[in-house]
Amino acid sequence: MEKIIEESKQGESLVLENKPENTKKLFIESYGCAMNFSDSEVVASILSNGGYNTTSVLEEADLVLVNTCSIRDKAEQTIRKRLEKYNAVKRTNPKMKVGVLGCMAERLKSQFLEEEKIVDLVVGPDAYKDLPNLLAEVEEGRDAINVILSKEETYGDISPVRLMSNGITALVSITRGCDNMCTFCVVPFTRGRERSREPQSIMAEIQDLWNKGFKEITLLGQNVDSYLWYGGGLKKDFVNASEMQKATAVDFDQLLEMVAVGFPKMRIRFSTSNPQDMHESILHVIAKYPNICKHIHLPVQSGSNRILKEMNRLHTREEYMALIDKIRAIVPDASISQDMIAGFPTETEQDHEDTMSLMEYVKYNFGYMYSYSERPGTLAGRKMKDDVEEETKARRLQEIVDLQQKHAWFRSEEFVGKTVEVLVEKVSKKSTEEFSGRNSQSITVVFPKENYKIGDFVNVKITSCTSGTLKGEAVGLSEMN
């Protein structure tokens, strides 16, 4: 499961610099994972060249697009409410067109267009370049749909506009799709099979960001560690590649090193990792380069071997724990975060206790925790009965959350008295006299502004903490500036 963008950003309307020659207005909202937000930047770039400027005022839009998520039922319910709102506005502005992008588009195409008639166009994650043609269809009074999944599309030739940008941090997509058929996840069906983006296009995008003053990038993929470029095509077809293609292939540890060496004054993060693809070679690259952040998001989903098998996860509890040991040995200062699902079908109290004991073993810095909700189209949705009572799910989830909170306190307190490097990202929400940023371990750090500015790398001595935030005093600029 992809890391969800923080709640406060969900549904934010995205605005970029206007082009004076553009005459139409686009209102675009994103929900769900980082990949969706990254995709919205690609869409805005395509439409900016097609005559659209963005607006944050729904009522004045000619085109309204919502980039959707199918991972959780809550996300789908939220998007349905937004579609109701769009259509209420559309009744007073009949020229407005409404479109659904992303994962829900693929899954609910006929429902949205034919049965409920609540949208004008439906565009899947691999069809964004077709938007100008689809909009022409809509202008002529026809519904438009393209949800065809591609074996090749990576949008490597599109320079994304930075919609939500603070000018400091940016997302750089390096893979699309996923080959892991986890039974709870709809991604392989909505985003297709896994393929990687050409390395030079990734380097060119990062160079452009560096030229514009960005200080940190996150290499992004549904399963980022399994990146493999061998000239194009699906990862699963690599077995049929020529000897030359195999000899010149670039995998994730090579790409990571290429970026770290190419941009030594830029911080590098990556998300999301899958345990079976987190090879030791990647850990050695993380340890070797100070500009690669020491944070690994390593979803586990459950601590029970029986449930992991039911989920079709390709790791056991023991293999996961051995990987944690390896991370601690090679990158001792790394923070580790998790995804966890409570109440998966057939989960017993013993399975739940196995999850709790795994959490005790790892003591994660932070995590993303959910109770299971059946997703139509997934293998679990088709073949497994959602048989854990909602009350039991809620209790188990709360126990997981409470334990994570305890561990987050423990991990935060480890930083007190230490000096950490912080990239200043913004003014603190709680005080205009303080800056907020993250350290290498992706923990939020707050400190008095003094004479520093947004975009500076500042060494901060930590004096106190909460479970999720470190507080301290600046002691000077770091060598990364």
Q: Is 185 known as a binding-site position?
A: yes
**Segments of the chain assigned to CATH 3.80.30.20:** 169-413
CA distance 274 to 312: 13
CATH fold of 418-477 reads OB fold (Dihydrolipoamide Acetyltransferase, E2P) (2.40.50)
CA distance 372 to 13: 29
Can you give the pLDDT at residue 164? 56
Can you give the pLDDT at residue 2? 41
Average pLDDT over residues 445-460: 97
At residue 163, does pLDDT exceed 80? no
Closest CA to 481 of 417, 415, 424, 419: 424
pLDDT band at 36 (very low <50, low <70, confident <90, very high): confident
Q: Which CATH class is domain 7-146?
A: alpha beta
Reduce the DSSP state of residue 170 to 3 states and report it: strand
Q: What is the DSSP string of 45-86?
A: HHHHTTTEEE-S-GGG-SEEEEEE--SSHHHHHHHHHHHHHH
Q: Is 33 known as a binding-site position?
A: yes
pLDDT tens column, 368-426:
999 998 887 788 988 999 999 999 999 999 999 999 999 999 999 999 999 999 999 99
Distance of CA 406 to the CA centre of its chain: 25
pLDDT tens column, 263-320:
999 999 999 899 999 999 999 999 999 999 999 999 999 999 999 999 999 999 999 9
This prediction has a pTM of 0.81
Can you give the pLDDT at residue 71? 65
- Check whether the bond before 346 is cis (ω within 30° of 0): no
Give the number of other Cβ atoms within 10 Å of residue 226's Cβ.
22
Question: Mean of the per-residue pLDDT values for the chain?
Answer: 89
Closest CA to 103 of 378, 295, 308, 465: 378
pLDDT tens column, 39-61:
888 888 889 888 898 888 889 99
Give the number of other Cβ atoms within 10 Å of residue 95's Cβ.
9
Average pLDDT over residues 151-177: 77
pLDDT band at 144 (very low <50, low <70, confident <90, very high): confident
Q: Is 465 known as a binding-site position?
A: no
Q: Is 293 known as a binding-site position?
A: no
Can you give the pLDDT at residue 3? 45
Can you give the pLDDT at residue 12? 54
Share of the chain above pLDDT 70, in %: 92
Q: Which two tokens stand for residue 28?
A: 């675009």
pLDDT tens column, 225-249:
999 999 988 899 999 999 999 999 9
Which CATH code of 1.10.3720.10, 3.40.50.620, 3.80.30.20, 3.90.320.10 fits the domain covering 169-413? 3.80.30.20
